[in-house]
Structures are given as structure tokens and as C-alpha cells.
Amino acid sequence: MLAVVEADGIWSVESRSLVRWAARRLDVSVRTAQAQVRLGRTLRDDLPLTSAAAAAGEIGVEHAHVLAALAPTTERRREALSSPDVECNEAWLVRQAKLNTVDDLRTVVRHWAAAADTEADDRGYVQACERQHLQVSPTLGGYHVQGFLTVDVGQALVTALEAVTPVPAAGDTTTADQRRARAVGVLANLVLDKGLAGEGRASRLRLNVLVSYETLQAVTERAIARQDGLPLPGLAPATTAQSAPELTAKTVLHGPQFEDGTPVPRILLDRLACDGELNRVIFGPQSEILDVGRAERTFTRARRNAIIARDRHCRFPGCSAPPTLSECHHVEHWARDHGSTSVDNGILLCWHHHGHVHARGIEIHRQGARWVFTDAAGRELPSPHLGDGDDCA
């Protein structure tokens, strides 16, 4: 309706803007009117089938909001929506809207968007890394906490908090937020009391990511393709023109994801696979479990301990984060270069710099008794440790 009103210019007789006109006519706040106008324009320009389904009452307004907010967000995704040659185009998404609740549809569309334009998800993850911050400020009677975390850090934090949050006892009137705040204190005490910030080799937190065999193959092919492409500004090397994705129900609904269904950006999957644990589960045609393989670490405990003994801390120039805050990174890429999972091919990097190396396309190689880091353009990163005798083989 608003798109028609905007096209006819009816609103200009009574108001200075369409948003103000809609707010007054619909008796809603300006913010709500802005959302309605934005929805109307998106449905008109990018989602004609969604618009028709909503107008006919076949899907709800909230379903339309989800599709408008998550689907036509890049040019590549808009092309996929309108393409008759793509199995999972707008018509497919509208069918999903008719079959799913709003929350379930949101998960489906997020997976669709990740499959339709993986490079956009990678860029979004890199930008999220740069936005990441946490403020802990003393205030009257306590501390005020606010910030923003990337999806993997947030998942790790939530998993850790849940692990130390007991089931509320009968009659416990505390809220979930209050129990979560107490759990933060428990985590802090665990780190301080157990000396986990030191040189120890404590077991690391487990984050589960569900990945199909086909996706792992695609990660390998993508890593090889990235090596031959030109770098995007501020990003790791990538192909200049991403090939059209195969948008089928299988690739959309079974892409890499955390256990709660949150899609995993491919650039993050690349890092997690570097020092993760692989568990093979084979399913039958009816999704029954046929076989569960033994867990395999890309770096075994013995190899990790050997790398720790050699490197002692994060080897990124200027960083001295301890092993408990670090992971083993493949110097020769495990997929792109078919790098072996050996001590010689491993280097200790803290979680932050491990992600930074993958996101920025930083290459690492051994030069005598020291590690040399070069950026995507081949320039060596300066090391404040040069000459201090710290880089022993």
C-alpha cells in the first residue's frame, strides 16, 4: 500500500515526507513508520512475489519483514532471487515462509543468504572483527558492561556461561540475566584461581560446528581459488568474480553452522578447521546415523605440546599471549597448499591473531631461526623481537 501511495505522491499534499504521512495516518511512531516504508520499497523493488503473497494473506507481515531484511542485501543475492534458473530463488523462499514460523524462517533465510553470497559473509565477519569491543566501566555500586562480539566469540562466551550456570533450585526467583551475571564471576574466578592465564596446557573450550563433507570440499576448492585471485581492499586474497553459487535446498539448509543453526562464515570456518577436531558422522537416506568415526584433531595433543615447547607464546610480531590463549595454525594452508599437520608446519598464534592472519591473507614462513610474516602484498611485517634471541628453533 505504501509503495502505491509513494508512487502516486498522495502523501505530499498532507506532509513533508512519506514517513511522517504514514506515522500520522497509521497512528504509529516515526520509527515504526520508517520500518514500514522501508519494507514497502524493498517489496516493490526486490521481492514482488513476497509482496503478492503478503497482500493475499498467504504469509504474515513479520515473514515479509524477515525476507526483506535478510534476502536482498547484496547484488549477488538480488540476482539469485530473481533468477528462474536457480532452484532456491524468491519463489522457494516464499514457499518456506508459508511452511515455517517467523523464527524458523529467519534461520532458513540466513542460511540462504550465506549460500547465495559467501564473499559478503566473509566481508561482514571481517568488519565484525573490527567492530568487536568490550567496555567494563566502574560505576556507582558496581560495574557497567557493554560491547559487541563476533559470532564465534559470542558462541564461546554463551557456551562457557552455560557450562558454569547451575540449574536453578526449587523456589529460586533469580532471573536468567542474574544467573548469567553470577556465571561471569564464576568464570573469572576459575581463570584466576586455576592459573589458566599462565603457561598451563588446560583443555580448551569446545565449540561444535556442523559441516557437510561437500562443504569441506568446497572450502578446499575455495582456498585454492583465492590463491589465484586479486585481493580485495583490506581482505585476504579472493577471486575477482565469484562464480554463481549452486543454490539448492541441500546447499542452503545444510551449510556450515553452529549447533544452534547460526551460519558460519567461510572465512571463520577456515580458521576453525586449522586447529579443530574432526568428528565423522555418516547418515543414511532417512537421516539415520550409520557410523560415527573417532574424533581426530588436526593437530594432536603431542604435536600441540611440541609446538608450545618451541614457540612458548603467540608468534605474531609484538604479541606474547600464552599458549592457553592460543591455537596452532598451519603455516602451509591445510586445504590450499595441502599443508601437512606436522610440528614443522605449525605455529602458535593467539585466537585474535589467528583470525587476523586468515582474514588479512597474511603469509608465514620460516627464515633461519625466526618466523617471517608478510601481508597480502608481500610486505614483511616488522617484528619488535628481532635480535632479542627470543625466536629460537
Distances (CA, A) of 300 to 201, 296, 342, 346, 389: 13, 8, 9, 11, 28
For Cα atoms 324, 325, 330, give the angle at the middle one, nearest 5 degrees.
100
- Residue 59 has what pLDDT? 94
- Residue 254 has what pLDDT? 80
d(CA 391, CA 393): 7
User: What residues in the chain have per-residue pLDDT under 70?
Assistant: 1-26, 169-170, 193-207, 218-245, 275-276, 278, 282-298, 333-341, 383-393
* Chain centroid, CA 103 distance in Å: 19
The contacts of residue 133 (CB under 8 Å, 6+ apart) are 147, 148
Tens of pLDDT along 147-188?
A: 999 998 999 999 889 888 877 766 778 898 998 998 898 888
**The pTM is what?**
0.63
d(CA 380, CA 364): 10
- Checking 55-58 for CB contacts under 8 A at 24+ apart, the result is 58/94, 58/98
SS3 assignment, position 281: strand
- Checking 33-38 for CB contacts under 8 A at 24+ apart, the result is 35/65, 36/2, 37/2, 37/6, 38/68
The contacts of residue 47 (CB under 8 Å, 6+ apart) are 64, 67, 68, 71, 72, 81, 90
The contacts of residue 300 (CB under 8 Å, 6+ apart) are 341
Write down the domain spans for the chain.
Answer: 149-193
